[in-house]
Amino acid sequence: MENASVLYEVRGVGKRYGGVVALDNVDFALRAGEVVGLVGDNGAGKSTLVKVLSGAHEPDSGEIYLDGVRRVWKSPHDALEAGVETLYQDSGVAPDLTVAANVFLGREIVRKGLLGKLGFLDEKAMRRQAHAGLEQVGIAVPASDRPVARLSGGQRQAVAIGRAVAWANKVILLDEPTNHLGARQAGEVLEIIRNARAKGFGVIFISHTLPHVLEVTDRIVVLRLGRVVADAPSSAFTPDSLLKAITGLGQPEGK
Ligand SMILES: Nc1ncnc2c1ncn2[C@@H]1O[C@H](COP(=O)(O)OP(=O)(O)OP(=O)(O)O)[C@@H](O)[C@H]1O
């Protein structure tokens, strides 16, 4: 392994949709206990890179490494099993189900137990464990037996993120997790991300909300037209220089 601290990495990744080059020779690395911001204008290739990282798309070229081991994801299930948890943009939650049921949704067949082995689906145990799981990641949800439809938008988002963080065991991909949230709720989501970092997860934070990116990330990777045009510690960017990197405006080389 070239760099022992790198947790998740892609090298030289390319992806086309017909004649459109969505990703062009992209290198991207994430370390444990690091929050990396992935930013870029509409169509820059962020969602495509997320899909490659989450196993939803196979890249046309390039390689994927997790824990220094070359991986080929045939489906999102492969990546999930290996420890790559993804919260897609607006993936949300099932409104008619309770908070607890949402936390466990689809998991019985994926992995055994959130906080240890769950032998059977005991409603009470599920509620207790869902609550404890969310609490562990810093989320106080009013009542885990309440249907999600009766929570506020921010609380629903918190449940979706809490679910991702509670189940994660290596990498968490968050695509626009603060979208549509008010300032206080967005602040809570950023706090959840900090908690996840403190637990040693690698977190990828995709967002158009640059103040959130600058506030919560350790490093920022900027994509433009499918290429990485900047990769630097967040402290190296100002709001203005980050915007310029994204748009390519005001840069002497006219990239
Ligand atoms: N299924 C598809 N078929 C054809 N072209 C696509 C498809 N998905 C994405 N593209 C194109 O690939 C490029 C990268 O798109 P992508 O969705 O990855 O960008 P993005 O940075 O996530 O944009 P946004 O911020 O608008 O979500 C764009 O030119 C887009 O039009």
Residue 13 contacts residue 62 (beta carbons within 8 Å): yes
Q: What is the per-residue pLDDT across 155-197, written as a single tens digit (0 to 9) for each?
A: 777 778 877 877 788 999 999 888 877 887 788 889 889 988 9
Is the CB of 50 within 6 Å of ligand 1?
no
Question: Could you tell me if the CB of 44 is within 6 A of ligand 1?
Answer: yes
19-49 pLDDT per residue, tens: 999 999 999 999 999 999 999 999 999 999 9
The finding on whether 53 has its CB within 6 A of some atom of ligand 1 is no
Residue 254 is predicted with a pLDDT of 43
pTM of the model: 0.85
In the chain, what percentage of residues exceed pLDDT 70? 80
Looking at residue 113, what is its pLDDT?
47
Q: Is 40 in the pocket of ligand 1 (CB under 6 A)?
A: yes
pLDDT in tens, 43-86: 999 999 999 999 999 999 999 999 999 999 999 889 988 999 88
Q: Measured in angstroms, how far is the CA atom of residue 207 from the centroid of ligand 1? A: 15
Work out the pLDDT band at 228, boundaries 50, 70, 90.
Answer: very high
Give this complex's ipTM: 0.96
Ligand 1 atom at shortest distance from the alpha carbon of 223: 21
Q: What is the mean pLDDT of residues 228-245?
A: 97
In this predicted structure, what is the pLDDT of residue 142?
Answer: 62
Task: Flag whether pLDDT at 135 surpasses 80.
Answer: no
Alpha carbon of 21 to ligand 1 centroid (Å): 9
Please work out whether the CB of residue 46 comes within 6 Å of at least one atom of ligand 1: yes
